[in-house]
Structure 1
């Protein structure tokens, strides 16, 4: 029988969300590489941030804007938008980047899509303890 590649399902992302929305002025970003990471669901799309809170939106703790979905730190699972992550992870530096939340070296994120109801519920439980 044939072998199937099991992996992350590619998401359909509008082209305009595969590049920075201009949250930061100085961005030294490889747009082709960024687009590939977003299309392969390795980074969250670069949605424009919203100033207003909404039940379905998540807040980035760095820029304080709200997004449909965010990346998660691999070390401590804290949320961060793609544009803030790109500012933290300097591609021209030889030094490893520390997590801005827990200071773990070699900061990296993953994209899991929109938070589930269970994840949102757990977050509320932790927040009110």
Structure 2
């Protein structure tokens, strides 16, 4: 059929155009996230303020470092003359096991998670 333009059967051109648009949009989102991360790391933006619109847009949040305090109950059997001595012996046992690894604890701590800086590592798009 001369003069009649035939459409490709698979729609390959449209599919390719949509794929290219999606790749460009993904690259722009990745660039935006890197720019936001850099602004937070530089102290120009607050991490919580920055993550709120990302969450609202259903985009991945900027990763952060967190300091997490976990209350852990340990049941130890020790030999002692009194409950005070038993507590001291148990604490000394735990201190000896944990402090060489740089871990500390406070038996009065109820547990909490404190946010830190945004991770200053390359992130994916």
Q: TM-score, normalised by structure 2?
A: 0.20
Larger relative contact order (C-alpha < 8 A, sep ≥ 6)? 2
Q: TM-score, normalised by structure 1?
A: 0.19
Larger radius of gyration: 2
